[in-house]
Structure 1
Amino acid sequence: MKDLKGKTALITGGGTGIGLALALQLAAEGTNIVICSTNKERLSAGANEIRKSASNVKVLDIICDVSDRSSVKTLKAEITKAGLQVDILVCNSGVTTGGEFHLHREQDWDWVYGVVLNGTTYCIQEFYPDMVNRGYGHICIHGSQAGMVPNWVTLHGPYTSAKAAVHALGAALRPEAAQHGVGISTIIIAGTQTEIMKSERSRPERFGDSLVVDLKKREARRIPPADVASQVVDGIKQDKGWVATHPDLKARTKQYFDEILAAYDHE
């Protein structure tokens, strides 16, 4: 989708971080923007920043809990009511917990899977069929280096496994979607300057109390959200199947897949 002007992009988790940075860059391309998240204050602040940066595009900010299928259906209804259709879907919402597998409770798994995996599938189920019917569109599925190399970053079991699942979803959907004129890009994101480690502040009450585990802060090279966003925009324009934000992690990724490939070798 080389021409983004006049199109409409829905970005989940668009009030802060990578989602907001991407919204700003797409708005600069002339793309109408719909951002959603669970926090009204941060969402409104993000929407105002987008409006100030690009007064010539429509900007909607809609409260939505992507882990709740009915909330996603309401999101679509509100977008339709506003006279817009989603041409670009960016499944960006993400939360994580910290701690060893055995310390995670049922509600911790339910919450992370609800946002990262179910939230992605709910949005695709709502907006992908319309793209198929129109014969064009693009979906960005935001994955993670942690999901690509699951033994690289430990202590984030639900997040890591859910991100691995969305990678598989993107890869499986791409060849089918191409037959309908719809592009699918899976984005492998590594260390970025976001607030994902503050995820628990957005945890809905139905998932219970936050998981509190004393963890040592992990040192990592983190790039600005705008750097990730520019790579995502390029991925949309060039219809790239995969976008990896951190080239320096290629060797570590190869090591992991070489270990798997070695299992196929029988003497």
Structure 2
Amino acid sequence: MKDLKGKMALITGGGTGIGLQLALQLAASGTNIVICSTNSERLSAGASQIRSSSPDVTVLDIVCDVSDRSSVKNLKSSITKAGLHVDILVCNSGVTTSGDFHKHRESDWDWVYGVVLFGTTYCIHEFYPDMVERGYGHLVLNGSQAGMVPDWFTQHGPYTSAKAAVHALGAGIRPEAAEHGVGVTTVIIAGTTTEIMKSERSRPDKYGEPLKSDIKKRVANRIPAEDVASQILEGIKENKGWVATHPELKERTKQYFDGILAAYDH
């Protein structure tokens, strides 16, 4: 999608981190913006920042819990009532838990899968058919290096497996979407300066108390969120199938897939 001016982008989890930085960069290109998340205060602050930096674009902030299908439907209704339609859908919302597989409760799996995987599918279900009908649009599915190489980043079982499914979803839908003039970009994100490790602050009451864990914070090469956003923006403009944010992890990824490929020889 070369010309972004006048288009409309919906970014889930757009109040902070990668989502907000991408919104700022898209708005600077003349793209109208809708951001959503579960926290109204952070969402409002993010929207104000976008409006200040790009006063000529339309900016809406809508509270939405993407793990709730009815909330996503209400999001769609709000956008439609505003006389807008989504040209670019960025499925960016993400939460994680920390702890051993066997210590995760049903509510932990339900919450992480609800946001990371089902939240992505709910948004695609609501907004992708309209793109097909118009013959134009772009989907961005934010994945993770943890989902690409699941034994690289341990202690985050629900998140890791949900992100792996997001990768499969993006790769699977891209050929079909291309037939309808819709681009699909799947993003493999590694260490970034975001607040995802504070996810538990956003856990809805219906998913119970936070999962307690004494895991030490992992040392990682974290790049600024705006750098990841720039790579995603290029992916949208060039309709890249994949964007990988950390090239230094290529060899580790190769090792993982070499192990899988070796199984075909036996």
Q: Give the alignment's TM-score, normalised by structure 1.
A: 0.99
Deviation of residue 174 (structure 1)? 0.1
Aligned to 2:46: 46
Aligned to 2:164: 164
Aligned to 2:200: 200
CA distance in 2, matches of 1:25, 1:193: 17
Structure 2 residue matching 1:90: 3-state secondary structure: strand
The aligned amino acid for 1:56 is D
CA distance in 2, matches of 1:243, 1:105: 33
Matches within 5 A, 1:79-94: 79-94=79-94
Deviations 1:52-111, CA, capped at 9 Å, x for gaps: 000010000000000000000000000011111000000000000000000000000000
Aligned to 1:150: 150
Q: Give the alignment's TM-score, normalised by structure 2.
A: 1.00
Gaps of 5+ in 2: none
Structure 1 residue matching 2:217: 3-state secondary structure: coil
Matches within 5 A, 1:45-124: 45-124=45-124
CA distance in 1, matches of 2:50, 2:81: 21
The aligned amino acid for 2:26 is L
Deviation of residue 167 (structure 1)? 0.1
CA distance in 1, matches of 2:119, 2:191: 22
Aligned to 1:237: 237
CA distance in 2, matches of 1:81, 1:214: 46
Structure 1 residue matching 2:186: 3-state secondary structure: strand
Runs (4 or more) in structure 1 with deviation over 3 Å come to none
Deviation of residue 217 (structure 1)? 1.2
**RMSD of the TM alignment (CA)?**
0.3
Structure 2 residue matching 1:33: 3-state secondary structure: strand
Aligned to 1:226: 226
Deviations 1:123-162, CA, capped at 9 Å, x for gaps: 0000000000000000000000000000001000000000
Structure 1 residue matching 2:18: 3-state secondary structure: helix
* Equivalent residues, number: 266
Aligned to 1:137: 137
CA distance in 2, matches of 1:204, 1:218: 26
| 1:189 maps to 2:189 | yes
Aligned to 1:125: 125
* Identical-pair percentage: 79
The aligned amino acid for 2:265 is D
